[in-house]
Homo-oligomer: A and B are copies of this chain.
């Protein structure tokens, strides 16, 4: 993503962040549509605040999604369609990932002029 829409428009803290850091395998089968679908689906979930994502040419990526509460994060984790995608991710698309749940306490910005 390259436009302003790549930035999440989050409220004033506190809120919660899921930091998902991953290294892709070389297996692309089904990945792009599933990833796009998960972004679309996440955006419909209660408590979703936004998402930001970047992946480099070597397949290393960071996605941060923002949520109102840890309960909202737990519900999203348990979403049936998301559970299927998580399973495929573990088996097929990600060689290694780290997932961290964090409480955002402070935020600053420089917006585009």
Q: How far is the CA of A63 from the CA of B52 in the complex (A)?
A: 11
> This chain: how many copies in the complex?
2
Contact indicator B2/A23 (Cβ below 8 Å): yes
Q: How large is the interface on A (under 10, 10 to 19, 20 to 34, 35 or more residues)?
A: 35 or more
Contact of A100 among B17, B54, B95, B99 (CB under 8 A): B17
The DSSP consensus for interface residues of chain A is strand
Contact indicator B58/A1 (Cβ below 8 Å): yes
Contacts of A99 in B (CB 8 A): 107-109
Interface residue? A29 (CB, 8 A): no
Contact indicator B6/A60 (Cβ below 8 Å): yes
Interface residue? A41 (CB, 8 A): no
Q: Which residues of A contact B (CB under 8 A)?
A: 1-2, 4, 6-8, 10, 13, 17, 19, 21, 23, 52-64, 70, 90, 94-113
